[in-house]
Each structure stands twice: as C-alpha cells, then as structure tokens.
Amino acid sequence: MKTQKKIMLTGNKAAAWGARMAGVEYVPAFPITPQTEIVETLAKWFADGTLQGKFTNMDSEHSMFMAAGSAGATGVRVFTASSSQGILHGMESLYTITGWRTPMVIVNVSRALATPITLEPDHNDVMSTRDCGLIQLHAETCQEVFDFILMGYRISEDPEVCLPVLVNLDGFYLSFTREPVLIPDEKDVRNFLPLYTATQPVFQASRPMARASAVFGGATYTSFKLQQELAARHAEKSFNQVAQDFKKYFGRFYGPLETFHLDDAEYVFVMSNSFATKGKSAVIKLRQQGIKAGLLKLRLFRPFPSEAIASALGGCAKVAVIDQNLAPGMGGITYPEIVTSLYSRKDRPEKILSVIGGLGGKDIEDQDFMAIIDHLDKPDRGTPLYLYDEGDVKGFNRLQQIAKFNEALK
C-alpha cells in the first residue's frame, strides 16, 4: 500500500484537504456556519500558492453555485461548499447547473433550516437537494469526507455521469470534530485522479456553442430530463467501479451501503452520516443485553441504491428508519424511499417504523435506541415515532414561561 500520513483533522479540514488533493482549480465561495472553515482553508492555500487557480469571494450562494456551474462548463475542476440556508438560497442555481451536466464536487455541511434559525445539524438541508439531480454521498467520519471528495470527482467527471457530486457531513458532530485522517501522497492521488481534462465541449473561442437554451414542448423537455435520470442512475455503477479503484490505490473500500451486525439482526436501524456512529454503539450495547440489533448505513443516497438496500434488508424482521429530517405532515423523507425499495420483495420486513430524531442537533441517545426497539414490538400508532421525551417537554415549558413572563404577571 502507498504511504499515507495520518493527521488529526476536523471534518471541515478533511474536506479542504480532499479538495486540495483533488487539485481543484476554482473555488467560488460564500461563508456560512458551520462550513466556513473549509473555504477559509482553501482561500489561504490559493493565496499562498499551495493551490494553483482562483478563489473568488462571491456575493451569495445563488451566485456561487452559478459561477461554479459556468466555470465547470468552461473546463476547470471546481469545488465549492455550503450549508443550510445557503443551500436553500442557491437552490435555483443547483437545479440549473445539474441540467448543464458539468462536473464538480460540492460539500454540504448539514445544518437545520429556519424557522427557528439554529446552527446545529439535521438533514433537511441536504434532503432539499434530493431531487436536483445531484449525486449524493453521505459521510460518517472525517476519513469518509476526505475519501468521498476524491471519489466524487471521479464519479462526477465520468463521461457517462457529468453531474455534480455533493458530499454531506454533519455540522458540529463532524465539521468541528477532529479525528485521525489518512492523507495519501499527492502523486498517488494523481494516479487515481489525474488533473482535469474535460470530456465534453467547453467554452472557448474555437468552439462557439449555446448551452442550456430554452425548450418548447414537453417531449423535448422530457428527453433531456430522462437523460439526466439515466446519467444519475449510471452513477451507481460508476460509484462501484470507482470504489474498487479507490481500494486498489488506498486500501479503503466503500460500498454504497455499510452493514453493521446485520446478518442475524432482528431489529435494524437505518441511518446515515455521523449519527450512524451512535447507532453502531447502541447496537453493540443492545447485543450485550441479548437483543439482536443491527444497522444499515446509507452512503450513496443519490442515486438511491434500491437493489442493494432491498438485498440488505430483505429477511430482516423489524426495521426502524431514523430520519434526522422532517417533512411536516408526512414525517421522515428517507422512510418512504426505503419502504419503496422493499415493496416488491417477498421477504420484506414485517415492520418498518418511521423514526424522527436528531432535529436541530438534538442528540440521539442509547435510551432512544432502546425506545425504538420497544416501539418496533408495539402496534403502529399511525404517526412516526418522534424521539422526544418528558424531559424535553419540561424543558420547553420552562422556556415558554420565560418567554411570556410579564404576560403572566398581568
């Protein structure tokens, strides 16, 4: 195996290192907590000559994603990062540039969405980009953040994909958390990921072209949209090929899913991102108490690896899909996707429970996992299971009293 140095890095620094090792040439940026450390780090590296290219301070995420897309269409390797409200502000641009079919890697540092405004994480921001046409990789560790960025460029630049790849990491729990990360030599990375050469026509004087022109008529629109769908679906194949290649070069292998004590599990937690670590810990503790728990972690979220999920969960008795997001009036966003994947299987689980937890950075504790196990054994109550307890209610009541203190005196 090639030499790799192991250093303590935050998730954000790991993201910056991923971009640096990928040899990014262009970073349009706009600050937002908890992402800012990524672009600050890259700004410094462009400023001191560590990275060759350009770092441009943009005026909004809407502008930032647009500049990222147009630079991609002009033939440079682009990186940018955002979070939360920034993703929403840039949403129009995100849909626009995925349709341009130009490669890039975007890092999203997950943070809950207003209202109320908060800095702490959940996944409503990244879920809002679910239908844009982005490829999404969700990271549990700082190492995955770094590795997924390198893999992301390979997938994004695959001529049969040409869609932006979004790498997701949780704010605070990963963005500001340091842990050891293996960083390979740059020359080894170059073998895995050569410097960028566009495989599609790019803007330059000798190649006049019109891109993203309007269409009239649903048939033409459908034709282009279906091509986007095919490219996105192809990205699963691309992911698996790139993962093999990545293992060959760097010794770490990533499937679209990670299974943890799943083989004989009677109770399965489906999770993603950094809280999956908490889930793994709970699985170990539950097993020590004689409860056969297991965990399925989603890494590749778009394209959605339905077949792989169905194979992993087929035959499991009881499954809890833990969504750290909320679609009010519906519940968890990944829950129906998991259920859909399993629908046609004869050995589908007898019970699939929707669980909502971790909103706005709220912790998911061991006792929460135990409560999920309890509810997997109870009849359905017609709503998702909310990880919200008596203590939360009491605490909230205290705040309400302060919020209307003078009102109470009247």
Partner 1 sequence: MKVATGGHKKIKDLHPHEAIAPGTGLCAGCGGLEGLRLGLKELGDDFLICNAAGCFTLLSVYPFTPLKGSWLYTTMGGPVPAAQGVRDALDIRMRYRGLEEKENLQVIVVAGDGSSNDIGFGASSAAIHRGLDFIYFCYDNEAYGNTGFQLSAASPFGSATQTTPSTYVHEAGTEINKKDLFEIWKAQKPAYLATVSPREPIDLSNKFARARALKGPRMFICMSPCPTGWGFEPKEAQLIAKLAVDTGIFPVKEYFEGEVTHTVRPRKRLPVEKFLERQKRFQHLFEPHRQEDVIRQIQKRVDEYWRNYE
Partner 2 sequence: MWRIRIHGRGGQGIKTASQILGSAGFYSGFQAQDFPLYGAERRGAPVIAFTRISEDIILERGPISSPDIILIGDETLLNDPQSAPLCGAEPTTLIFVNSSHTPESLSQKFSLITANLNDLCLQHLNNRTVYSSALSAVGARLLGNIDLQDLLQAVEDELTPHGISSSALKGNLDLAREIFASLQPVDILRKEEKVLTAKSLVLPSQLPVVDGAPIILEPGNMALRKTGNWRVERPEIDYEKCNNCLICYARCPDGVIGIAPDGRPEIDYDHCKGCLICAQECPGHFIHTVREMGTFP
Q: Using CB under 8 A as the criterion, what x/- string covers residues 26-65 for binding partner 1?
A: x-x-----------------------xxx-xxxxx-xxx-
Both structure tokens of 273: 């991102």
Residue 291 is a binding residue for partner 1 (CB under 8 A): no
Cα separation of 324 and 273, whole Å? 10
**Do the bridges between strand 300-302 and strand 135-138 make them parallel or antiparallel, or are there none, so unpaired?**
antiparallel
Size of site (CB under 8 A) for partner 1: 43
| CA distances in angstroms from 3 to 69, 247, 292, 344, listed in the order given | 35, 14, 39, 46
Terminal C-alpha separation, the chain? 74
Three-class secondary structure of residue 305 per DSSP: coil
Choose the one of partner 1, partner 2, none that binds residue 406, judging by a C-beta under 5 to 8 angstroms depending on kind: none
Q: Look at residue 325 and give the partner it binds from partner 1, partner 2, none, a contact being a CB closer than 5 to 8 Å depending on partner kind.
A: none
DSSP-H helix ranges across 134-196: 142-157, 186-192
Judged by beta carbon, residue 35 or residue 98, the one nearer partner 2 is 98
Decide: is 219 part of the binding site for partner 1 (CB under 8 A): no
Q: Which of 66, 286, 326, 385 binds partner 1 (CB under 8 A)?
A: 66
CB of 65: closest distance to partner 1 in angstroms? 8
Is residue 216 at the binding interface for partner 1, with CB under 8 A as the rule? Answer: yes
> 159 contacts which partner out of partner 1, partner 2, none, CB within 5 to 8 A by kind?
partner 2
Distance in Å, CB of 213 to partner 1, minimum: 4
Instruction: Identify which of 111, 116, 120 has the alpha carbon closest to the alpha carbon of residue 87.
Output: 111
Decide whether 207 or 398 has the Cβ nearer to partner 1.
207
Per CB under 8 A, does 73 bind partner 1? yes
Indicate which single residue of 4, 76, 118, 336 sits in contact with partner 1 (rule: CB under 8 A).
76
Q: Which is nearer to partner 1, 72 or 358 (CB)?
A: 72
Tokens linked to 153: 């460029």
Specify the residue, 59 or 390, whose C-beta has the smaller distance to partner 1: 59
Contacts with partner 2 by CB under 8 A lie at 99-101, 159-160, 162, 199-201, 207-216, 223-224, 226-228, 230-231, 234
Say how many C-beta atoms besides its own lie within 10 A of residue 349's C-beta. 22
Instruction: Count Cβ atoms below 10 Å from residue 110 Cβ, excluding itself.
Output: 31
Cβ(14)–Cβ(65) under 8 Å? Answer: no
Three-state secondary structure of 237-303: HHHHHHHHHHHHHHCCCCCCEEEECCCCCCEEEEEECCHHHHHHHHHHHHHHCCCCEEEEEECEEEC
Nearer to partner 2, 70 or 168 (CB): 70
**Please, what is the minimum distance in Å from the beta carbon of residue 85 to partner 2?**
29
Q: Name the residues that contact partner 1, by CB under 8 A.
A: 25-26, 28, 52-54, 56-60, 62-64, 66-76, 92-93, 96, 203-216, 220
